[in-house]
Each structure stands twice: as structure tokens, then as C-alpha cells.
Structure 1
Amino acid sequence: MSRFKTAIIDIGSNTIRLVLYKYDRNEGLHEFGNIKKVARLRSYLQDNGEMSEEGIQVLSETLISFKKILDDFEVVDIQAVATAAIRQAKNKKQILSRMKKETGIKIDLLSEEEEAYFGFLAVAHSMDTPSAVTIDIGGGSTELTLYIDKKLQKTYSLPFGTVSLKQLFVSGDLINETEKKLLRQYIKKQFSGISWINDVKLPIVAIGGSARNVAQIHQHQIDYPISGVHHYEMHREDLIGLKGFLGDMTFEQLKQLDGLSTDRADIIGIALEVFLMLMEVVDSNTFQISKKGLREGLIINRVLQSNPDAFDKYNVFEENARRIVFEYGRTEEEGSTLQNLTENLYKECCSLNIVQYNEKYFELIKKAARVYAIGEYIELDSSSQHTFYLIANQSIAGMNHIERVKLALLASYKNRDYFRRFAAPFETWIDKDELKVLKEYGAMLKFVYALNISKRNVVKSIRLEKEDNVIVVYIEAKNSAMAEKYQAERQKKHLERIFKQPVKIEFY
């Protein structure tokens, strides 16, 4: 199918969530609705192993309310899945049968392996981390995977989550120091028994609400200059510091803390203990957050079944570039023209030894060319400011936060003054030498953009030649290129700063 509208209902041990998606072969995947109900179904499991009638009623009422939302949106294609809380209930068959009868929604009970696999699928298709250990800690179970070069190697499901650990170890609202000691001993024993995570020294990629909350609290704590938690990176000392910061707070203070969901105030400390113990066992100092998890894995799998070429986990940015370009009114042809001309000019500069070829920068400026000046969609006169904000402050799958800022600096380049202002909050992220290089490549993009100012894709190629003390830029164009000629003359100063020589423009 090249276009569809669907809903994923994720029945977890802590929350039940409805997410609405649209998919279009040209526009890509788009989330247009996200509704959460904190149900804590895990807490309704009784001593005899069955889920209580009260818990079943909570599930039924939640699904009925979701069904009304789906009817309003006219979504009939629904995939509902249940994980640990239902999986661990002895009366699971009766629960599934009743939900089908009472709500009209058929629920698929995911196995532990399936739950882990879909989490991996989401990470592999939304992050550029080539190899990692992933952890998805829910309310009633914790899924681990190991993947190498984006290929899944191992999966494992542990029979505990934040809610069940609280039930086992915590007597009050918050875990105390004595309880933490017992909790750490238990978790370490569980993790140490999994041979393939011991001392593998790979990054940890954390999935789920607890991981997102950890990132959000840390960002508030350090006054982080951009938004978004997807591909946010922390280190072990950051988590240790955060643990101390949260440990000094009362339950009421935690419920008021910016970045922390009120419904996770009592379990965030437990999640931190699990994350830190995993880092110790893996011997990892890198902790990354994936905003994409089980639900995204399910919808990606759904799309891939109907269109195997829809996503490329080895080139994650490409799909997102197409979505961004389309979203902000740029045609695919225009984006390709800008990228091809940028590639052309960069290689010509390398051939004359004006710049030294660098694969990392070459790939980055090609990406920036696709989204250069997308802020025009909002307002032409302030395009640069809008472009920087739009790119720096939205999650872009396949790019970490530093790379995202670099992309924003290149794609928003207007002049040296604007570049300096945009770069100022990130001087501890990017050193002066690299900022100088980025500024030059931004200037190159500014010139390339002038060559398609009419958006008619009339310029076909660029060639550079040295003639005495002048560099001549030969520009091949089809049809009338009057607007491009005028803009090229206006913007050639940007090339002259890079070349450190006079520039002459010749159209033919």
C-alpha cells in the first residue's frame, strides 16, 4: 500500500497508549495523534497469578474510550498489542476474549522475543548508532537486545519492570537507601547471568518513558539549548549526578519537577538504578535515548511488509530528509538539484585544492543542501532564523544532537554575523576550527542556493578554472537563467571569501 491511516494500541504494564499514524509513499510516516492512559495493569495481578476484575475493567474502559477517538478520526485499521502485564496473567485468554467481545478490538499478545525485536527495529531505523545494547524497561518486564552493524544478534526478556520492582522492594512512596541496596543486588544478579552483555563496552540505547524522563530532567538541569530527547546522549557520571539530585527530593517535590511525568515520580529512581547497573555490567560510559520504541517498530514493520524499500536502516537520514522537504513545501526535484550542485561545486573545489576532501563534511553539506533555507516556508524575510530553529529543534532520525546543530548552522547560513549568533550557544560543542570550516561550507551553500533562486532547476553543472589570479565559475544552464545570473553575481562574495581570490561568473 502506498498510502494508509492506522492506529497502534500499546497495552503495557504501566501505560496504555493509542497512537495514530499516516503513511504516504511520498510524504513518509507521520504521527498525528498520541493519547496515554496510566493504568498500571501490573499492579492488578493477584497472588494467584490472575488479573483482578478491577484491572480488567480498567483495560476495557480504556479501550472503549480509545474506540470513540478512532471512530471520530475514521480509523478502522487497528493493531492492538499487549505485553508483560497480560502475558504474565494466568487468565490472559479470558481477558483477550472479553476485550474482543466488549470493545470490538482484537488484541495480539506479543511474545518476549517479538517485543524485543520491535524495539530493536525502531532503534535501527531511527538512530545512526551502528552497534549497541538496547534496554526497554516497562512496568512488568525489561527487554534487552544486542545488535552489531544494525543486525540483531541476541534478545532477552527479564521478568521485572519499574512497577513490579516497586512492588517487590519499596515499602513507601519512594525507595530508601536500604531498599536500593537490595534492589541493586537483585538487578546485578539478573544482568550478570546474561553472558553476551558482560563487558561488551558498547553504548546503551534506552527505550521507553522512564528513559525519556531521565533525559528531560537532565536537559532542564543543565539548561540544554535545543529541544528533543531522541538520540540524546549522557554519560555514566551524568546518571550518577542525576541519581543524587533526585535522591534529595521528597515525593511531592518529584511530582512537581519539570521534565518528570507525575505518574513516574515514584518509579524514576528505580529506573535509574536499573540503567546504572546495566552500564556497569556492560562496562559502558555512553547512554543514549531513543524516543522510538515498540510502537514505532510495529508501524515500521507494517510499512516494510507492503513496501520493502520504504526505509533504509543504513541511511536513516534520507527518509527524514524527504519528509522534511515535503513538509516545508520543497519539491523533491528542487532538493535534488541543490544537492547535486553542492556535490558538484565541492568536488570542483577539491580538484583545485581550494578545500581538502573530507568524507564527513562532504556527507554533511549534501544533507544540508536538501534542507537549505526551508524556513522560507514560514517567512521569506526571516528565513535564516526559522531554518535554524526548525532543524535544531526537531528530532531528525539518523542524526545525533551535535550533528543536528551542525546541519542547522549550514542550512541556515545567511552571512557571518548570523552564523556567529546561531553558533554562540554551542561553542562548547563545536571547536573554533570546525566552526570556521562550517562557516565556509555554509557560504558555499548560500551561493549554490542562488543558482536555483527561481526554483525552476535550470542550472545543470558547475566548473571551476584558474585563469591568472581569477577563478572563473562556469555555469551550465538550460533555458533562461536571468534570475540565477543576477543572484550569482550578488552572492559571489561568499565564494571569494572561501577562495581568497577574485571570482568571475560565466553562464553558458
Structure 2
Amino acid sequence: MGNNRRIGIIDIGSNSIRLAIYELNHHQAHRVIGEFKQSARLSSRIGSDQILHTPDIRDIVDILIQFKQICQANQVTEIRAAATAAIRNAANSQEIIDQLLQESGIEVELLSGEDEATIGFLGMSNSLDIEDGILVDIGGGSTEVSLFRNRKLEQSVSFPFGAVNTARKFSMDGSLNEEQLKNIRLMVLTAITEEPWIEQHPQLPLVGMGGTIRSLSKISQKKRKYSLSRTHNYKMEAVEMEQLVKWLPSLSTDKRKKVDGLSKDRVDIIIPGMLILDTIFQAAKCSHYVISGAGLRDGLFHGQYLPAPQLTASSILKQSTTNLLGLHASAPIEHLEQVAGHAVLLYDALQGIHQYDSRMRLCLHTAALLHRIGVSMNYYQFAKHSFYMIAHSPLNGLSHREILLCACIASYKTKGKVHQTYQQHKDVLHETDVDVITKLGTLLQIAIALDASETQAISSIRAAVEGKQLHIAAAIKYNPSVEYREVDNAEKDFHKIWNMKFSFQTFNQV
């Protein structure tokens, strides 16, 4: 563990109680090193008197004590715990908070609906580069709906219904008839009429958080045989959700248990949660769905333990890339930055030839910065480790396709291997991406060659295209013999892929 700092974040939700353990290293880079969950169904335990009684409070205490033991075993030095709708809405909420502190030793923050929406937005906005949208977080006992514009939270509301208490209100066994389905929608629509702003911003994406939409996205991915195992920033079209809204309620509870992607502890609450989500989507006239894997726990961590973010679309990717480099330091940062700078300079010089857009430039720059992270696994054949780590790490600010492009460019060896990867991910990549990856991969190989010694022997370069030839002029500080050899090797692949000649000249730095 060394000088690393470990922090436990506990979310006492209405459906489940979760612990996430974050680790911060000396670079201030962070990662989740453990997640633990206990089903609680607190919303269904509160009786008609709106009181959570002592035996049920004791169950929460037992879970908190268990989580505290897990934290101690993982050398966690700080714990931040927060409670949401179920405890917030209980008539004896303060008594619950007091008893939790007294018996578990953990101080629990009681979040208001506004707090919950704000913290959830913070978690989402640090991990997605969406400028405008409707954010919907369906919990067990409440649903937070927020409007954000230009990456700023403008309005929010917390509705007192979620997947668990709605299921309890309309169906005890998970089965719902047509009348009950209509009544759930009517409940949601009635609430929306009190918040007219929800219907006044059509054609925005609905960004969904919470177990309901994560489960629906997993069902979608299983049905599509999706080749990437990540739900964060996964997109679903309205027509696909409409099909799920028709199909899932038609299944018996037993058949629902066999649906790929749906966990058994959600079988009885997925339909109410899905109807809440779909009703909001329809009322807001949203364009499509985007799933956020980040939410309240991430917001609790970011808000207290990380510097205040700039919250611009470009900063999301920069922060995420810097974080990965801080976790997997494997080359001098001066080398990586020089490689990235040279790669995009070559890209710009060849713009008139390839005519790719600014997003491809961003992918090349990111791939250049991250191409060596596989060394942290094993130096030998590190390229394949870099591919896996980029493809499966939380690289925020990029679409799934762009993440795969970065992984392929960073690990580029031959066009044949690129084609093999395309065959494995045809559902994510475009057929034309084979050519894109191959061309940008060769540019990265030249950029790597230009600092092969990792000493910045070549301090800067100029590049220009004349006819069918790329000219590179390099200013040298030290003996660039290693760079000469590697550039010569990279030249052959460039000529073959780009069908262009290549000239390389050096001059002494003044």
C-alpha cells in the first residue's frame, strides 16, 4: 500500500447498501479496489406509520459493522457514509441516524433530495462529456430528475417513488396486470405535471443512473451479443427500450428470472423501475438513452477527496488519461508527451490526405499518451497488455468505438492484426476503421521512433507534405543514432500503408 490513501464510501440506499473502497496514490490518481453490496429493501420495511422499527435499524447496523471490518482489513483510513430516500422519508429519520452512529461508530450523512440530485450529477458529469441532458436516477425509494445545460445543473426534483416502494405499492409478487401498469404511469405523469420544466426541453438525451437502467442495458447487451463488457456510456435507442417495455411485463416472474443480464434480486422491481424511466422519457420527449455507470458514490468521493473539476468536455478525457498514467506509470512523462505532440503534428501535416476529423486527432493523441501503460503488467509484449488496459479501463470522455480505436492505435503492429480485432468487435467498430487504425497506427510508430531513446535527443520536428512525399525535419540536441535506426524501420510501413514517400532530415538545434 505504501503511501496510498484508502477511503470507504458507503451508500445506504432504499434497495441496497453498498461500500466502495477507493485508493488515492501519491500522484493523486485514484481507482476503486473493492465493491461490496448487501440487499436491504429498506423502502419495503417502512410500515404505514412511516417508521423504520428497531429490528430493521439493527439490520443496517449489522451491515455497517461488517463494512467497517472490511474497511479495516483493507487499511481504509477514512469512511464517508450517506443515506438517501428510505431513511430520509422515515418519520424517525434522526433516531435512525443517531442509532447507526451509536452502535456502528459510523457517522451517516442524511441527504436531502436536492443533495442526492446534486451529488449524483457530480458523479455523472465527471465521467461523461455530454453537454445537455435530462438526468434520471431511479433508486429504491425515490427518483431524481435533473436538467443540465452546458454541463451545469439547472433544475432538479426528487420524486418520492422508486423501484422498490412502487413495486410494493402496486404488486407484492412482481407480477403486474394492465391496470397496474397504467396506474404506475399515471402516478409518474401526475408528479411530472407539478414540474413543467421536465416537458419543456425536447430532444435531449436521457442520462440514466441506478440499478434499473444498468440492468436494462445489460439485457440489451446480452440480446445484441455486445462485444465490450462495459455499460458506462452505453447508448440505447428509444425503439429498443420500447421493445423491452412491451416484452418484460409479458413474462411471468419465473421466466423473468431466466432473462440474460437481469440479476435475480431485481426480478420483482425491474418492471416498476422501467415504467418510471420510460414514462419520464416519453414526457420529456428525449432523443435516446445514455447509461452512466458513475453516480452517487462517485459524487461523494469526488466532492470530498478530489480537487474541484473544471467540468468541460475536453477536461473529462484529460483528467481520465492523466489518472490512468498516474496509476500505471511506465515511461517518463516527457517521453509520452513528446510522442503525443509529434503524432498530432504528423496528423495535422497529413490532414489534406486523410481528411479525418478532430475526434480522430483526439484518439491518436490519447493512444500516444497511453501506448506504454501495458508495461506495468509486463514489458515483454506490452502492446497487447496496453490494448486490454485501454479497452477496459475507465477512459471517460470517449465513446465505446473511440476507446477501441485508441486501444488499437496504441497497440498497432500490422494491418492483419487490426483486421482480426475488427472481426471480434464488428458491432462496435466500423468497417472503415481498419484503414483509420492502420494509418494512425503508423503515425504513432513514427512518433515513437522519433524519441526511441526516451531522452528527447530530437527536440522538435517540422512536417510538410509535398505531392506524394512527407518531409520531416528534426532539430537534434544529442546523438540521435537510436532514433535514426527506428525511423528507418517505421518508414517502410508508412510507405506501404500511405502510398507516400518519406524523407527525414536533421539539423542541429540552435
TM-score, scaled relative to structure 1:
0.92
| Contact kept? 2:46, 2:90, Cα under 8 Å | yes
Say whether 1:115 aligns with 2:116: yes
Q: What's the counterpart of residue 28 of structure 1?
A: 29
CA distance in 2, matches of 1:487, 1:101: 66
CA distance in 2, matches of 1:501, 1:313: 36
Say whether 1:293 aligns with 2:292: no
Change (3 A) 1:381 1:69: closer
The letter of the residue matching 1:252 is D
Change (3 A) 1:247 1:458: farther
Q: What's the counterpart of residue 450 of structure 2?
A: 451
Q: What's the counterpart of residue 479 of structure 1?
A: 478
Offset, 1:47: 1.0
Offset, 1:25: 5.9
Change (3 A) 1:75 1:418: same
Q: What's the counterpart of residue 317 of structure 2?
A: 317
Pick aligned residue for 1:206 from 178, 194, 208: 208
3-state DSSP of counterpart to 2:350:
helix
Say whether 1:303 aligns with 2:305: yes
Q: What's the counterpart of residue 385 of structure 2?
A: 386
3-state DSSP of counterpart to 1:237:
helix
Q: What's the counterpart of residue 274 of structure 2?
A: 272
Change (3 A) 1:430 1:63: closer
CA distance in 2, matches of 1:471, 1:292: 44
Offset, 1:480: 2.6
> How many percent of aligned residue pairs carry the same amino acid?
28
The letter of the residue matching 2:288 is T
Offset, 1:436: 2.8
Say whether 1:167 aligns with 2:168: yes
Change (3 A) 1:160 1:68: same
CA distance in 1, matches of 2:90, 2:427: 51
| Contact kept? 1:228, 1:394, Cα under 8 Å | no
CA distance in 1, matches of 2:256, 2:26: 43
| Contact kept? 2:371, 2:383, Cα under 8 Å | no
Give the RMSD, CA atoms, in angstroms. Answer: 2.4
Offset, 1:484: 1.8
Offset, 1:268: 1.0
| Contact kept? 1:446, 1:491, Cα under 8 Å | yes
Q: What are the superposed Cα offsets for residues 153-180 of structure 1, whole Å, 9 maximum, x if unpaired?
A: 0010001011110111114233233311
| Contact kept? 1:44, 1:54, Cα under 8 Å | no
Offset, 1:249: 3.3
| Contact kept? 1:12, 1:139, Cα under 8 Å | yes
| Contact kept? 2:331, 2:372, Cα under 8 Å | no
| Contact kept? 1:447, 1:491, Cα under 8 Å | yes
Offset, 1:182: 1.6
| Contact kept? 2:439, 2:498, Cα under 8 Å | no
3-state DSSP of counterpart to 1:461:
strand
| Contact kept? 1:372, 1:445, Cα under 8 Å | no
The letter of the residue matching 1:251 is T
Which has the higher mean CA deviation after the structures are superposed, 145-154 or 411-420?
Answer: 411-420
CA distance in 1, matches of 2:110, 2:424: 47
Change (3 A) 1:42 1:428: closer
CA distance in 1, matches of 2:276, 2:84: 20
| Contact kept? 1:184, 1:277, Cα under 8 Å | yes
3-state DSSP of counterpart to 1:315:
helix
Q: Following superposition of structure 1 onto structure 2, how do residues 83-162 of structure 1 map, counting pairs within 5 Å?
A: 83-162=84-163
Q: What are the superposed Cα offsets for residues 102-157 of structure 1, whole Å, 9 maximum, x if unpaired?
A: 11111111111010000111111100111111111111111111100101100100
The letter of the residue matching 1:226 is L
CA distance in 2, matches of 1:456, 1:61: 56
| Contact kept? 1:322, 1:332, Cα under 8 Å | no
TM-score, scaled relative to structure 2:
0.92
CA distance in 2, matches of 1:331, 1:189: 59
3-state DSSP of counterpart to 2:197:
helix
Q: Following superposition of structure 1 onto structure 2, how do residues 171-186 of structure 1 map, counting pairs within 5 Å?
A: 171-186=172-187
CA distance in 2, matches of 1:367, 1:175: 48
Offset, 1:27: 4.6
Offset, 1:417: 1.0
Say whether 1:193 aligns with 2:227: no
Offset, 1:191: 2.4
Offset, 1:435: 4.3
Which has the higher mean CA deviation after the structures are superposed, 43-52 or 372-381?
Answer: 372-381
Which has the higher mean CA deviation after the structures are superposed, 321-330 or 106-115?
Answer: 321-330
Change (3 A) 1:18 1:240: same
Q: Following superposition of structure 1 onto structure 2, how do residues 233-252 of structure 1 map, counting pairs within 5 Å?
A: 233-252=235-254
| Contact kept? 1:116, 1:143, Cα under 8 Å | yes
CA distance in 1, matches of 2:469, 2:86: 73
3-state DSSP of counterpart to 2:18:
strand
3-state DSSP of counterpart to 1:479:
coil
CA distance in 1, matches of 2:288, 2:466: 52
Unaligned runs of at least 5 residues, structure 1: none
Q: What are the superposed Cα offsets for residues 447-497 of structure 1, whole Å, 9 maximum, x if unpaired?
A: 212223333333322223568975442223322322221111011123324
Q: What's the counterpart of residue 493 of structure 2?
A: 494
3-state DSSP of counterpart to 2:165:
helix
Q: What are the superposed Cα offsets for residues 228-272 of structure 1, whole Å, 9 maximum, x if unpaired?
A: 110110011111222344334332343344322221111111111
CA distance in 1, matches of 2:241, 2:309: 38
The letter of the residue matching 2:435 is K
| Contact kept? 1:354, 1:499, Cα under 8 Å | no
Number of equivalent positions: 503
Which has the higher mean CA deviation after the structures are superposed, 139-148 or 90-99?
Answer: 90-99
Q: What are the superposed Cα offsets for residues 13-43 of structure 1, whole Å, 9 maximum, x if unpaired?
A: 1111111112246252211121111011111
Q: What are the superposed Cα offsets for residues 387-438 of structure 1, whole Å, 9 maximum, x if unpaired?
A: 3333223332112212212222322221211122212344455544454334
Offset, 1:185: 1.8
CA distance in 1, matches of 2:413, 2:405: 15
The letter of the residue matching 2:57 is I
Change (3 A) 1:430 1:256: closer
3-state DSSP of counterpart to 2:173:
coil
Change (3 A) 1:33 1:466: closer
| Contact kept? 1:28, 1:319, Cα under 8 Å | no
Change (3 A) 1:210 1:441: same
CA distance in 1, matches of 2:426, 2:259: 29
Which has the higher mean CA deviation after the structures are superposed, 64-73 or 33-42?
Answer: 64-73
Which has the higher mean CA deviation after the structures are superposed, 137-146 or 446-455?
Answer: 446-455
Which has the higher mean CA deviation after the structures are superposed, 10-19 or 414-423?
Answer: 414-423
The letter of the residue matching 2:401 is I
3-state DSSP of counterpart to 1:98:
helix
Q: What's the counterpart of residue 415 of structure 1?
A: 414
CA distance in 1, matches of 2:372, 2:292: 28
Say whether 1:217 aligns with 2:216: no
Which has the higher mean CA deviation after the structures are superposed, 18-27 or 276-285?
Answer: 18-27
